[in-house]
Amino acid sequence: MDMYVNGIGMTPFGKFPDKTLKGMLLEAAEEAIQDAGHPKIDAVFVGNFMSGSVYNQEILGAIMANDLGLGAIPTMKVEGACASGGIALRQAYISVLSGEYDTVLVAGAEKMKHISTVEVTKAINAAMDNESNEKHAGLTFPGFFATIANRYFYETGATKEHLAKVALKNRNHAIRNPLAQFRVETSMEEIMASRMITDPLGLFDCSPTTDGASAIIISRTPSDVKIRASAQSSGPTQMQNIDDLLTLEAVKTSGQLAYEKAGVGPEDIDVIEIHDCFSMTEIVSSESLGFFKRGEGFMALEEGRTTFTGDVPINTSGGLLSKGHPIGATGVAQIHQLVLQLRGKAPNQVEQPKLALAQNLGGTGAYSTVHILERVN
């Protein structure tokens, strides 16, 4: 069965004390519904990670159906840490594939800027196994990717400057994205000198906390953007159980599954959104997805190959690092940018892309989704 993206919507990403979680969800959803030509919606899937723990608000699906005025249709919320949005999209995709629904609304949102850094860190740490000895050892999410980074440096000869090049590239992309959180110019010097969070990751190597929402409509009704593949995999929930620290196994497997379903390979993809929760993550995931060989992704940054004018354009939206990372919205917002790319209307527009790939990660590599889209007009 062929499936399509019919509409997209997205709020600006950033700090919005005057916007509520519901308000952002409705804003993004209305835009997507209008963009799709106001079709009849058969179901709603919402990706969200911590509305319960930090905002005391659940039933997001029912609230959306009610306040959008969609009637008695079924709804649900999907949680998979930072991959909540990608998993919501995949569940929506499967529901249409089953034949049960024809047209489905997928939304993702997070409200994070109203609480302190300590509170938000604690809430995010719920995406680690509470009973594991490594959480008790004081490991954090940046700490996990920093441990990968030190091993990566040791094995490949890459340095902190390569991480800085990821941060600088994504910032330069975000500057031209009107919906991005960080649109102020920076420099290698500022990035390299920024406050160390967990060695070797500094402030600019880490994605921020963000308020925001994004929404898309998918259906069997043909549009100019076809969904060629949807795939998901799980990986180790603990760093000490990872066989090869420089391969994100769930990313690799979900990528392989998606390529197989679409009948394409990494060399066929024209524009890419990768889950760059940290600068290091973009490099290892670009390798795990097959765009570069293991241990060689950092070289592409030296040659500018991953900027929007390069041959492997990654995170033309600005990525999580600079577009922002409202957790539940992230996986949906990646699709938003790729649909704009395929429509030829994106910030940092790549020249006539045909195939686009989005990869969304949750936990310490515990969840990964990959979606491949194709321009069909």
Catalytic machinery residues? 82, 325
Distance in angstroms (rounded) separating the CA atoms of residues 207 and 323 = 9
How far is 89 from 37, CA to CA, in rounded Å?
20
Selected from 1, 18, 72, 118, the binder of other proteins by CB under 8 A is 118
Identify the residue among 82, 163, 213, 239 touching other proteins (CB under 8 A). 239
Listed ranges 78-86, 107-115, 166-174, 193-201: which one lies at the site for other proteins (CB under 8 A): 193-201
Rounded to whole angstroms, how far apart are CA atoms 8 and 106? 10
Q: Which residues contact 245 (CB under 8 A, 6 or more apart)?
A: 147, 148, 151, 239
Least distance to other proteins from the beta carbon of 299, Å?
A: 21
Task: Tell me phi and psi for residue 352, to 5 degrees.
Answer: 40, 60
Instruction: Enter the tokens of residue 301.
Output: 């940054």
Of the candidate spans 10-18, 130-138, 169-177, 318-326, the one that interacts with other proteins by CB under 8 A turns out to be 130-138
Q: Is residue 272 within the footprint of other proteins (CB under 8 A)? A: no
Ranges within 292-311 binding other proteins (CB under 8 A): none
Beta strand pairing status for 196-198 and 201-202? antiparallel
Q: Which stretch binds other proteins (CB under 8 A): 14-22, 87-95, 137-145, 332-340?
A: 137-145
256 binds other proteins (CB under 8 A): no
Give min distance, CB of 246 to other proteins, in A.
10
User: What is the token pair recorded at 335?
Assistant: 């699709």
What burial letters (b/e) apply to 332-352, b meaning 16+ CB within 10 Å?
A: bbbbbbbbbbbbeebbbbbee
> How far is 134 from 292, CA to CA, in rounded Å?
30
- Minimum distance from CB of 289 to other proteins (Å)? 22
Which one of residues 62, 97, 197, 376 is an interface residue with other proteins (CB under 8 A)? 197
Does 121 interact with other proteins (rule: CB under 8 A)?
yes
Taking the complex as a whole, the smallest distance from the CB of residue 156 to other proteins amounts, in Å, to 13
Measured from the CB of residue 114, what is the shortest distance to other proteins in angstroms? 18
**One character per residue 151-170, x = contact with other proteins (rule: CB under 8 A):** x--x----------------
Residue from 41, 82, 139, 346 binding other proteins (CB under 8 A)? 139
CB of 235 to other proteins, least distance (A): 11
Q: Residue 20: count other Cβ atoms within 10 Å of its Cβ.
A: 14
- When binding is defined by CB under 8 A, the residue of 20, 53, 57, 150 that contacts other proteins is 150
For residue 200, is the peptide bond before it cis, meaning its omega torsion is within 30 degrees of 0? yes
Closer residue to other proteins in complex, CB, 69/138: 138
Integer Cα distance of 360 and 272 in angstroms? 11
Shortest CB 129 distance to other proteins, Å: 9
SS3 189: helix
175 binds other proteins (CB under 8 A): no
CA 213 to chain centre: 12
* 3 state SS of 300: helix
Q: Which residues contact 74 (CB under 8 A, 6 or more apart)?
A: 43, 44
CA gap 266, 258 in Å, rounded: 10
Among 28, 44, 123, 148, the residue binding other proteins under the rule CB under 8 A is: 148
Q: Summarize as ranges the residues that interact with other proteins (CB under 8 A).
A: 118, 121-122, 125, 131-134, 136-140, 142-143, 146-151, 154, 196-201, 238-241, 245
